[in-house]
Structure 1
């Protein structure tokens, strides 16, 4: 199992950074290799990606989601992965985003790429592109303010 830890500072308030991160279907706009993310319900996502020229699909479950603070997940199928992204208020217009992800590469190509640090560099690039995506807009494309605790969603709030 590989561990990737990356962080970036973005020039928007924590609530805006968090709100944008909850817009999972926008991920292909800034995540390299991700071709589609479908939100199945409040806690389940279906991912499609191009990894080393091969199409990969997997499902993931959001296990914890605290507005403006953190989102944690783990895969339910496909390549085993899990992680957490946290949002740290620096000041009224600055947020530090920290991502920790555990990833279990499959096969020779993924293991070789992992040994070369390719996924780590990709995640770092994704965070930089997220920063550019968000700062160029100055606002989020949507938000979900619900809370997920121990795999159970609080659906009193709706996505928009």
Structure 2
């Protein structure tokens, strides 16, 4: 089983980051929690954390995302994923670090979306 832990700081209040996370459809189901491919939310504490289990379609996959107020206008989002590769392809992808890279890229895209949306509203 592999564990991926990444965090990113976003220039937006915690409530806005939480709302965007729960609404942001481009995130893979394995990151969003409780959405798509049978994932089931196991704990939802608004503005604090969302935990999930992969369910029958993603056995061995689970995760938690936590939201931490840095300042009134910035939030640190922390993501932990536990993955269980199935088959040669999954083991190869994970072994070469492609899963970690995808998570980093997805979080960066999420940060950009939140911050640009915030700038658009301020304009």
TM-score of the aligned structures, taking structure 2 as reference length? 0.87
- Within 5 Å, which residues of 2 pair with 1:121-160? 121-138=101-118
Alpha-carbon contact 1:13-1:92 (below 8 Å) kept: yes
- Within 5 Å, which residues of 2 pair with 1:54-133? 58-80=37-59, 81-133=61-113
Alpha-carbon contact 1:44-1:61 (below 8 Å) kept: yes
Cα distance in structure 2, aligned partners of 1:3 and 1:44: 19
Q: How big is each residue's C-alpha offset from its partner over 1:110-132, in whole Å with a ceiling of 9 and x where there is no partner?
A: 10010001101100111000000
RMSD value, Cα:
1.7
Which protein is richer in strand relative to its size? 1
1:50 counterpart residue number: none
**Is 1:45 the counterpart of 2:35 in the alignment?**
yes
Show structure 2 runs of 5+ residues with no match: none
Q: 1:44 to 1:88 in 2, by over 3 A?
A: closer
Which protein is richer in helix relative to its size? 2
TM-score of the aligned structures, taking structure 1 as reference length? 0.67
**4+ residue segments displaced more than 3 Å:** none
SS in 2 for 1:21: helix
Alpha-carbon contact 1:79-1:105 (below 8 Å) kept: no
Cα distance in structure 2, aligned partners of 1:2 and 1:117: 11
Using the TM superposition, give the Cα deviation of residue 79 of structure 1 relative to its aligned residue in structure 2, in angstroms: 2.9
2:12 counterpart residue number: 12
Q: How many residues align?
A: 115
Query: Which of 14, 25, 28 pairs up with 1:27?
Result: 25
Q: 1:116 to 1:44 in 2, by over 3 A?
A: closer
SS in 2 for 1:97: strand
Cα distance in structure 2, aligned partners of 1:130 and 1:94: 14
